[in-house]
Structure 1
């Protein structure tokens, strides 16, 4: 049987694993909580001689480790405020990083001992089970941090979108004024202003469409802020 190695330092992954693709950081962090409890249960069953559960626990640990690496690496790629939030969550004075690393180390030790039939297996397993509340609390803290970062990013994007909509509406208003003035000039020019009148009418239609679109965008922005 293969054995597991000790946790390696977090490094930038060369690719995003399939089980991570499509998941938001918040959902991925929340999934770590479920995965941690699944691993503990699988390991307890594996200690009773269930080889199938042992293999499942090894797969779960590999998935947990990859997800954890991805979370911390991705956190460093956020905007400065978000990156600082995630860094402090894992590496600050009250950071949860050491708790998560200790949990993964215990998992690996327990699985190696189960594979080898070590006499120390029972003690390691008891320590792992006792770690349940600590790892759950740590992963809850991490999930909350990612949720706060996501909310802050969403608020910033909505503020920017609202500003863009406002700018477009101002341009549309100015275009309406230009269109109206062009129509007045075309009317005064009589037959000589017919072609100019066509252009003015087209401009009027375009500004009308822009105005309708910006109203829709404003409604969507307000709806997103309310959710």
Structure 2
């Protein structure tokens, strides 16, 4: 099986969609079993629903594991261990899919012949028996994707905090430049007036940068991660004003 490489920068939005997709698998597995049982009683319409649910279940599993143009497939070590490690989620889900396909095929033949046989009953019984442990496994997978979402959000907050740190460093250096430039302009007297205008504009740009950084720091995902990291920004702005 071809699996995509791990994608470290997967977005929280994509992981949220994967959570929904994984959660839907639980409902689909139960609908397959329910409508197979109804099909065993001769309900042809229920058997059509069982087939549709099974097709969707199998396609969704392929998207979760192998990925496509939208989803990354198994993108983390924890998910890879769950799907292909000791719990063998991928193998067990595919085995359930085969059981369901076999049961549906038996039921289709039974309905065409207008009679149920022991083979169909055995196939549906085996499918029903497999449903409960599978449901627990699908729940564990959904929980694993929820854990991944928390990790992705934490990593995004860390990256954002790093960007804020970098902006703070740039702002500090720019303030020093503005301070030195204004001192030089003041010493130059009337010959430094044009230069003073430029340094005033630089101070304005620094102020805009500070407001941008404060806006980022104020967001929920970064506010708690670095509450005191940028307390020097107000002092930097004050230095720039004093330099004028």
TM-score normalised by the chain length of structure 1:
0.82
Contact 2:3-2:73 at 8 Å conserved across structures: no
Could you tell me how far 1:181 is from its partner in structure 2?
Answer: 2.0
Q: Which residue of 1 aligns with 2:28?
A: 35
The answer to whether residue 173 in structure 2 is matched with residue 174 in structure 1 is yes
Q: Which residue of 1 aligns with 2:94?
A: 101
Gaps of 5+ in 2: 5-13, 111-115, 226-244
- The 1:22–1:155 alpha-carbon spacing in structure 2 relative to 1, beyond 3 Å, is closer
Gaps of 5+ in 1: 1-8, 13-20
The answer to whether residue 209 in structure 2 is matched with residue 210 in structure 1 is yes
Q: Distance in 2 between matches of 1:102 and 1:58?
A: 16
- Higher-Rg structure is 2
Q: How many residues align?
A: 205
Q: Spell out, residue by residue over 1:96-125, the C-alpha distance to the aligned partner (whole angstroms, 9 max, x if none).
A: 222211211111011101100062111111
Could you tell me how far 1:89 is from its partner in structure 2?
Answer: 0.6
- The 1:33–1:115 alpha-carbon spacing in structure 2 relative to 1, beyond 3 Å, is same
Q: Which residue of 1 aligns with 2:127?
A: 128
- The 1:212–1:142 alpha-carbon spacing in structure 2 relative to 1, beyond 3 Å, is same
Q: CA RMSD in A?
A: 2.3
Q: Distance in 2 between matches of 1:116 and 1:92?
A: 37
Q: Which residue of 2 aligns with 1:112?
A: 105
Q: Spell out, residue by residue over 1:68-94, the C-alpha distance to the aligned partner (whole angstroms, 9 max, x if none).
A: 01111136563xxx1x22221111122
Could you tell me how far 1:148 is from its partner in structure 2?
Answer: 2.1
Contact 1:76-1:87 at 8 Å conserved across structures: no
Give 1:1-227 correspondences, 5 Å limit.
24-74=17-67, 76=73, 78=75, 82=76, 84-117=77-110, 119=117, 120-220=119-219, 221-223=221-223
Q: Secondary structure at the match of 1:94?
A: coil
- The 1:22–1:49 alpha-carbon spacing in structure 2 relative to 1, beyond 3 Å, is farther
Contact 1:65-1:104 at 8 Å conserved across structures: yes
Contact 1:76-1:86 at 8 Å conserved across structures: no
Q: Spell out, residue by residue over 1:151-206, the C-alpha distance to the aligned partner (whole angstroms, 9 max, x if none).
A: 22221221111111111112112212211221222122122112211111111111
Q: Which residue of 1 aligns with 2:113?
A: none
TM-score normalised by the chain length of structure 2:
0.76
